[in-house]
Every structure is written in structure tokens, then in C-alpha cells.
Structure 1
């Protein structure tokens, strides 16, 4: 190989030398008079010149000149100059074209009114300058790096991939129109969540567009397909108004029109009343245990990671005993959370005496009675006071008013009584309201996740602000019961903080459909790995003194790297969708901008009706309800204590 390169170099050098010799003969022939005057001629050179002239080389003035230039250009083809980065090709072309112009324009000098020697010198000098400029231009062109790497600094074109462009609709689907890029093209696509029963997780930092671009469409499209629905509205009435107006628009599509209910703790006139601990839904002691666990873990989120600890489980057992006692007393007419809170505030002797009268909870209450009789008050306070203090924060007339009524039941997908229920939180009071709403949601989920019910959609925006026990069980079994679950959250770390690492990972991994806006950190890395890799082109450039080496290859790399997810614009989403056996989707991954008709949505919002006023409520009614609950508990205590003291068979239950 080196020998061939050496031989080629010698040939090119000879060609360039021939060009110079030919140009020299051109000068000598047409400037012979001047050379003779300078006595630079001889018989040998004259005979040589005559022999060359017989070939016809000088038959025309420019023939020899053009031939010399052609030989020079041929010699330049093989030049391998030292490559220089950022050297534009126009520099070399400029030198070359300028040199050619001067090279041929020099012929005009013969028309100048000068002596033969003067014209010859001028012609020789100008032509030589043009010849040298062409040579310099060719050398510069040989130094230009002709291979250019792609100008895609952020590798955006390589990270594009084909996406689903079909509109796949069914009786349950959520279909979001979108745009995506494929190389240099912008194409239309569809994000088809054709099986929402496998769970939908919507991720995105504040402002990413979760509610505006995704969740509102989940609500409107499911209501248009006659779903019963529960909406957890963290910033009521944002989503509740959307759901209410969609309900008004599409209620004619239901076989049996549903009823619309709201729970709004800050505006009681627009709030219905509902008892999450209603006796009919409290079938056995395990229901009371789940309810007590939910309410206490919702009030003390750090307890979620401490489940199994002695004092945590003791507090849960204590509240369980109180709730089940109210469930059994008087056929459950006082089985509400406000009554349980008030009952817990009794002094230990009276409270334990009353609770021991119920045989089913005796095993739960005995450890507390033993501690009380043995004088282990410090241990007892640790077991009981944590529950009493936590629940005391719920001792609010407004909460008591909502929690003690019964405008509706939580079986929202009952075919005979379908419902659409919206419950609202308040970001300033999220810890208190969130605990109560957690109780509502847990009771509701248990009632709706059953066979033989109507199709149901659960929309839980800002999901980490409530505690839903056994959410993994809901996601695992909801598909067979036609319960579509949509969870909205900002970041995986938020879920991990409130639910614990193990539970958070289960929620992330078990969800079949995923739509994510701008996310960062571990969330972005995990999603990037979940979305997989695509084949990408790679080009590398190596420059040395004489040559440029280009290497092109293909390799698998992340279709959407974590850094890309951190820079997504509002309305731009990535994710995966799940399919059905009878409705396959080969292109499940997507990366594009969801298309909203902003003008149409603004017109629609301008025509929205506000949430309806349920009933006028004043402070006097709320306070009267608050005092009534306290009086009912006092009457219960007095009647129970009297019954126990007057019955010799129950006298041993008195705790002193």
C-alpha cells in the first residue's frame, strides 16, 4: 500500500513538472523577441522549439496555456495536504478561481503600448501569479475536511422513532392526538390508551401539563363512554368543574342516568354529606381495621414505613375497637368517624368499661385494660394517646358536618344507582383533608372493585397526597372488574417519600400505561430504561497529517435519554401504552406533543356551569350538628355505663 502511494506521488510530481515545463515553453515561444534581445537563445533551443512547434502545440495562443493548466489541475487531484478544521471550501475555491481569471486575463497585456521586453515581462509575471494562485487554491482545497458530521448537536434526529399513527378506538379507550418528529419530518400520531383497566400513570413536574393535556381528557372521554367515575380533585374545583360539565353533556348516553355528588369541605353549600363508615358497608371487623389503618396512616404519613411497630399497631387496634363498637351499638346508628373521635376522648376507665361490653373486640381492648390496671400509664399513653392526638385534629365542625350525613353511598358503580363523585382537597389543609379523603377512597375502592358492577373510572390527581392502602391489589385486579385507575403525580421520589420505597416501586412497575411529561433524576432514568433503546447512527471523524478517516456504525441506545426528559416542554410527553389481544399495538412507545385545540377549550371553559349549590348551610346548622354528635356520645356513654352497672353479670367489666 505504501509503495502504491509513493508511486502515485511520483507520477503527480512529474505531471506538475510537465505543467511547469509546458508553461515555460509557452513563455519562450511567444516571448521569443524579448528573450532574443536578452540573448537568452541558442541554436539548440531554437531547434527544440521548432520541433515542438511542428506538433501543433503553439498553433493557437491558448492551446499550450490550457494544456499546462490542465496538467496542473490533474496534479492537484492527488494532493493530500495537512487537514485543517474549520477551513471553508470557499477559501480554496476563491484562490483557484481568482488564479484562473488572472491566468487567462494576462493575454490582454499583449495589447499594451510597451516594448517587447516590457510586455513579455508583464505577461510572464501576471501569468505566473495566476498559475501560483491556482496551485495555492488546489493545496487549500486538499486541506479541507470534506466529511461533515451532522449538525444535530443534541442528537435529536437519532432519537426519533416511528410511532403509532392509527386512531384505535373502543368502548373504554382514551385517545389523545399528538405530533411527533421522525428525522426531519413532523408527523401526526395518536396516543391510544385502549386498555385503561391496566392502569394509567401520569407523571410530570408542576406546569408540565398533566391536567390540561391528559387528565381532563381522561375525564371527558370516559364520561362520554358512559363510565361511572370518582375524581380526587386536589385543587377543587379545577377538575370537578370539568367533570360536572362533561356529566351534563353526556348523561343522555347512560342507560340509567347517574347522579352527581361532590365533597367540598371548604364550601359546605356545594358539598354533599357522606359517611365513609356507614354500617351497611362495615361487614366485619377487618373492615373496621382497614378503615382505622387508613385514617391513622393518612394523618401520620411517617407511620407508613413503621407498620408493624408496637405503638403504631396498638393505636390502630385501639381505633379499630372503637369503630367496631359503634358499628355494633344500636345497629350502627352512631357508626361515623365524628362519633368515634368523640368516644375516644373519654377517660380511660369509662371508655374501657364500655368497650369491654362488646365481646368481638375484647381481644383488642384487653392489652390496654391490663396496662391501665397495672399502672403502666406511660406505656398506655404511648399506645392510645398517639391515636387520640392525631384524630383530635379532625375535630372540626365542618368535617363533622360532612362526615356525619348520608346523601349518597360510595358504591358508585352500582348498576342500579350509578354515580359520579368528585372529592376536593385544599393544598393549605392537605394533611387534614387528605386523611379524611383517604378514608373515603379506601372505602370506595373496596366497594367498586367487585364483579358484576358497571364500568368505572377512578381519577386520582396528585395521588401521593392521599393514602390508598393496597393500591397494588387494586391495579392487579381492576382489569377483570372493569375499573380504570388513573394516578397523577409529579415525581417518583414524591411517591417514594409518602408510600415507602417498596410500595412506590410496585406502583411504578405494575402500571400498564404510562404518560410522562418533564421529569428529572431517578424518575427520568427509570423511565428511560423502561422505554427501551432504538438503533441509532454513529459517525466518528479522525484527522491526521495526510488523511481523514471516517467511521460509521449503528448501535442501540436509549430512545429517550434521561436528559431529554428533563427538558421536555409543557404539553410534550413520552411513555408507553398497553394493548389488547384483539387490538394489537406494535409501536407502544411514544414521544411527542399532545395537540389541544386551545381556542375550543377556552370557549368550552367560558361556557362552563359552576358546581351546583346543594343546600344553603349556615354556621348555626354546622354548630348544631357538632354539638348533637357530642351529646349523642354522652348519651351513649351514660346509657351503657348504667346498663353495665345495673347488670350483675356485667359488673366484672367495670375498669377501675
Structure 2
């Protein structure tokens, strides 16, 4: 025990033992260098009697016995030595002194043999022996002052302490996505699996550019789901990076489907298939028109997302909803396409309001606009309508009109009788225009897909924030029971907040059951670190004072994956958390591992990919003819309706004249 009495008693024992060693060494030197002492007149009767008594014990029976005993007493004294601890002392310094001292201590005897003059030899022998003894004493004292249990200097980033067990079983079912991985646990590299056994609870893939979202995760979602017979929609931000994977994988696994689906591709730069997102057969009531209007205008004016509910945001939406629903009702929806909507919006107010007044269902929507027009409140009217007209006019392109006005397929991709695999490509250079149109496609597709009694389907969105979906959170929340899997690729959570607003972005992130994240920084890394929870980690602290050193060790809960670790992940290295099923529990849901890709096999596979075949042969004249025909259709609608109203006395009052 570290009490004052014990410390004092130990010090006395150490001093006595060391004195015995020194006394024994002095006796050794006096005995074996006796002739030199005689020459120096340093002998006496009393000393000789003591020396004779000691000799009878056999200590001086051999040259090295007394020398070793003196060294032994010195070592015993060093065992109890307690010098001031110093963490800066180096182990090699203590061993150098100790080794040099032992060497001098034992080779000093050669001087007695090689130097003729004995008194000189004796003086040199005793000097070298004493130096050796003192060096051993000094080196041993340094050893006692070393910190025996230094704090770890090799694991400066606490990497080993932050490792934790991960799921090593392969858990597979008919819906699962399984990614092989490697992870470290206490300096050992182990194999593991990232098992997304319930993709219907949503999957979010995060990572800055180059983190490997598409190469390590999204491409495997595509290939594994097609191999398991999913109908599929893929939003390909950089067409045709993902579309080519989809097409070639489908060609490889088309035999697994009970009803073989057809592949469709929407691309506005290199026109493939045509599809009308405002297909009248899929628009059941005016709420569908309102939802479509909101989606297209929010996609064109991203700042409106954060201002929903404002007068000058809701007014253009109501106006566009009225135009869409009018065309849906006119002649059984013959001209219900987005290009016809755009052209109809651009006509003069007299003709436009006259047409819209003929439909009683949209009367409530258009009355405020007609009243403002008739009362000469033109500033207000332009503020309400012009923002919609100007925004929609940006979509007036012959290529867009051609794709949007045809109908090669419908958007019910998980129809059991006619399943589909649909890829829609964007262009990063035209992101604002194309993104708005694609948002409308996706909005209509989700309405049709998220229904009971359909096939299992997979919706994959690369760079999800570049399109706008108003009810994405409700899709993730309700799609599980309808077997709709959703995969969202996002670079950073701040990007989602910027484009969707804080509230909706928070809901999307928190409602997603499966998270896979590569390198992200800032608030995203902090939020993920909190989501992944804490693990028990070892902690050490050292306290040094003049006489003692204390090292305390403890275990406490710390972040399993700190934000700093997420910010420094390498490409292909991911952290995350998976969701499980009631019938297939996963205890180890959190992971921090390197996803394993067979790079050579993937390279060979990509080299063997076939190009997506062209769907139709088009020239500019055909596209321009379609553009002109749509304008002619709108003029025909105006002429026919105006003539009908003017020739019917009962309806003549509906004609707006100003």
C-alpha cells in the first residue's frame, strides 16, 4: 500500500541492499588488488582480519563470485527504486547505459593480466569496474523511471478502438439486395455482407462525387432486382450510364420473368420512345390535374417549393390545373398533352377564359382570374398567370413536344399483364428544363405504381434532388405494402434541403429505413453518426507526479462511426444501417466496410455491353411537323369552340369580351 510508513521502509531496504553491494565490491577490489594497496600503504591489521573472515565464507573463492554478488545486490536494490517518472525517457538510452556498464564491469579483469605494473593495472581495473558499476546503477534507475504502460502511440486515429462486429451472414430473399464487403475487427480483416432484405422500406445512397454510389451500390441494385424479376423505373441523370446497364442486364435475365416486360427509354436529346405524362386514361379526377400542375411548376421554379401556400404560388398552380383539366375533358382527352397545355396557355385572355368557362368543374378555379380580367386588375392578373405562362414557355421545344405528345407506352410499369422497364435520361447541361418534365413523368408514374395487386417494382433515382416529387415521403411510407422499392441517390443532405426545403428533406431522410453512405461532410456526417449510435470503447489516461505514475482505464459509450471518420472515407468504403423484417431479424444492423467489386469482371462485362438500339428513324422535318400540328390543334379547338358558343344563344353569355 502507498502509505508513508511503507514508502520509508522500502527506501531503507533499498539503501541497505545497495550499500551491501557496494561494500562487497570494495572487499573484492581490496582482496584481488591487495598488493597494490600494500604499495600504496593502504593496508592494515583490522582490514586484514575482516578480509580473512570473509574469505572463509567462500565469497572470494573465485574471481567472479564476489563480483556477481555485488551486481546481484545492485539489481535487487533497483527493483524497489522509485524515481520520478518521465514519459520522454527512451528505453534505448537505459539499455545503452546498462549494456555499456555490464561490458565494462566484466572486461575490466583483463587489465590485471595485460598491464605489467600491477599497481597501474589495479588502479585501472578498479576505475573501470567502478564506472561499469555506476553505469549499471544509472541505467537501472532510468528503467525504473520509464512509463511501463504508455498510452497507445500506434493507433493515433483510434481506428482499432472504433471497430465493431458486423453482419457476416448472407441473408437473402426474393427481394433482397446483397453486397459483399470486408471490414476490420481488432486488426483482423473479416468478410461481411450488407443485407438489404427489405428494400421496400426505402434505400438512400449518399456520397460526394467520386465516392462510388453508382459503381458500388446503385448498379448492384439494378442488376440484382432485374435478376429477381422486378419491374423497374430508372432515373438516369447522366444518360446512358445506368440505362446501358439496365438494357444489357435485362437482355441477360429476361427469362426469369413470367410475363416478359418491354424496355422503354425516354431521352430528349436522342429521341427514343414517346410517352404522354398527362395520359387521359390515368387522370381520374381534377386532383390529378392539380398534382401534375404543382409538380411541373415546382420543377421549373425551385424557389416556390419553400413558398407553398403563398398567393402568387398557388394562383399559377390553380390556373395550370384548370387548363389541364379542360383539355382532359375536351373531346374525351384527345388533346390532353403537355404541349397542347403550353400552347393553349399562350392564347389571348378573351379566347382562353371563354373556353375555360365552358367547363363547370373548373369554374371555381378560374373565376378569380376572370373577375380580375373583367375588373381591369391587370397587374394582379399578370402576377397570377404570367409566372405560369413564362415558366411553361421554357418547355416550348420541338424535341420536347415530339416526345411528350406521343404515347408508345403507359407509365403503369408494374401492371401484371404488361410489365415494363423504363429508363428516363436527363442532361446535366439542361437540368432545369428536363428535370421539370421528368418530375412530371415520375409524379404520374408513382400514382399508377403505388397501388395494390401489382407486381413488385423498383424505382431508382440517381441524383434524386435534380427532380421534384411532392409526395416522395408518402411514397416511401406507404409503398412497402405495395411491394414498391425506392432507391434514392443523393450527394449530400444539404443538397436535398436546398432543393426540397428543410422540412421535407428531414422527413425523407428520417423515414428511409436503409442508409448507405460514402464520404460526406458537415451536418450530413454528424446526423449519420448520431443515427448509427454508440459502442463501448476503451479509454486510457495517465497521471505522473514526482514519485509515482498512475494509469486509469475505463470503458464508455462513444460514437460507433464518428463524423470525422465519415468525412474521410475512401472511394468504395461505406457506412450505413439496414432495416430488417419481423421474420428475419438482424442484430448487427450498422456497418462500416469496404464493398467488394470484382473490377476486372465488371470491366469485361462493360466492354461486352451492347448499345441501346434505336427505336425510330427521325429527321428534323418530322419533329417540326409535329410541332406545327400541335399549334394547329390548339387553333382548331379555339375556332370550333368559339363558333359553337356564338351560334348557341344559350351559351353566348359565356363568351368573354373586353
TM-score by length of structure 1 reads 0.99
Q: How does 1:202-281 map to 2 (within 5 A)?
A: 202-268=205-271, 271-281=272-282
How far apart, in 1, do the equivalents of 2:81 and 2:453 lie? Answer: 83
Provide structure 1 residue ranges, at least 5 long, that are not aligned to the other structure: none
How far apart, in 1, do the equivalents of 2:386 and 2:549 lie? Answer: 79
How far apart, in 2, do the equivalents of 1:50 and 1:177 lie? Answer: 83
The one-character-per-residue Cα deviations of 1:589-645 (angstroms, maximum 9, x if unpaired) are 000010000010011000101111000011000000000000000000000011111
How far apart, in 1, do the equivalents of 2:360 and 2:60 lie? Answer: 129
SS at match of 1:298: helix
**Which residue number corresponds to residue 121 of structure 2?**
119
Shift of 1:113: 4.4
**Which residue number corresponds to residue 27 of structure 1?**
29
1:199 pairs with 188, 199, 202, which one?
Answer: 202
**Which residue number corresponds to residue 443 of structure 1?**
444
The one-character-per-residue Cα deviations of 1:527-576 (angstroms, maximum 9, x if unpaired) are 00000001001111222222221111100000100000110000000000
How far apart, in 2, do the equivalents of 1:364 and 1:47 lie? Answer: 129
**Which residue number corresponds to residue 110 of structure 2?**
108
**Which residue number corresponds to residue 334 of structure 2?**
333
Give the stretch that moved more between structures: 456-465 or 58-67: 58-67
SS at match of 1:467: coil
The one-character-per-residue Cα deviations of 1:11-66 (angstroms, maximum 9, x if unpaired) are 10111111111111111112222212222222222222222222222122221111
How far apart, in 2, do the equivalents of 1:113 and 1:200 lie? Answer: 89
- Does 2:520 match 1:519? yes
SS at match of 1:629: helix
How far apart, in 2, do the equivalents of 1:624 and 1:123 lie? Answer: 116
**Which residue number corresponds to residue 475 of structure 1?**
476
**Which residue number corresponds to residue 431 of structure 1?**
432
How far apart, in 1, do the equivalents of 2:252 and 2:354 lie? Answer: 56
SS at match of 1:649: coil
How far apart, in 1, do the equivalents of 2:408 and 2:294 lie? Answer: 25
Q: How does 1:402-413 map to 2 (within 5 A)?
A: 402-413=403-414
Shift of 1:88: 2.1
SS at match of 2:161: coil
Give the stretch that moved more between structures: 2-11 or 116-125: 116-125
How far apart, in 2, do the equivalents of 1:42 and 1:425 lie? Answer: 110
The one-character-per-residue Cα deviations of 1:168-197 (angstroms, maximum 9, x if unpaired) are 110000000001010100001000000000
How far apart, in 1, do the equivalents of 2:195 and 2:115 lie? Answer: 86
How far apart, in 1, do the equivalents of 2:211 and 2:542 lie? Answer: 39
Q: How does 1:120-159 map to 2 (within 5 A)?
A: 120-150=122-152, 151-159=154-162
- Does 2:538 match 1:540? no
1:181 pairs with 167, 177, 184, which one?
Answer: 184
**Which residue number corresponds to residue 287 of structure 2?**
286
Give the stretch that moved more between structures: 100-109 or 391-400: 100-109
**Which residue number corresponds to residue 87 of structure 1?**
89
Q: How does 1:285-434 map to 2 (within 5 A)?
A: 285-434=286-435
How far apart, in 2, do the equivalents of 1:564 and 1:287 lie? Answer: 46
Shift of 1:87: 2.3
Q: How does 1:574-653 map to 2 (within 5 A)?
A: 574-653=575-654
Give the stretch that moved more between structures: 437-446 or 98-107: 98-107
Shift of 1:82: 2.3
**Which residue number corresponds to residue 14 of structure 1?**
16
**Which residue number corresponds to residue 62 of structure 2?**
60
How far apart, in 2, do the equivalents of 1:111 and 1:383 lie? Answer: 116
How far apart, in 1, do the equivalents of 2:595 and 2:372 lie? Answer: 61
- Does 2:168 match 1:165? yes
SS at match of 1:4: helix
How far apart, in 2, do the equivalents of 1:475 and 1:461 lie? Answer: 16
Give the stretch that moved more between structures: 535-544 or 288-297: 535-544
How far apart, in 2, do the equivalents of 1:25 and 1:510 lie? Answer: 87
The one-character-per-residue Cα deviations of 1:418-449 (angstroms, maximum 9, x if unpaired) are 00000000000010000000000000000000
SS at match of 2:273: coil
How far apart, in 2, do the equivalents of 1:246 and 1:110 lie? Answer: 91
Q: How many residues align?
A: 654
Shift of 1:94: 1.8
SS at match of 2:551: strand
Consecutive aligned runs of 4 or more in structure 1 exceeding 3 Å deviation: none
How far apart, in 2, do the equivalents of 1:287 and 1:44 lie? Answer: 122
SS at match of 1:202: strand
RMSD: 0.9
The one-character-per-residue Cα deviations of 1:251-281 (angstroms, maximum 9, x if unpaired) are 111001000000010001xx10000001111
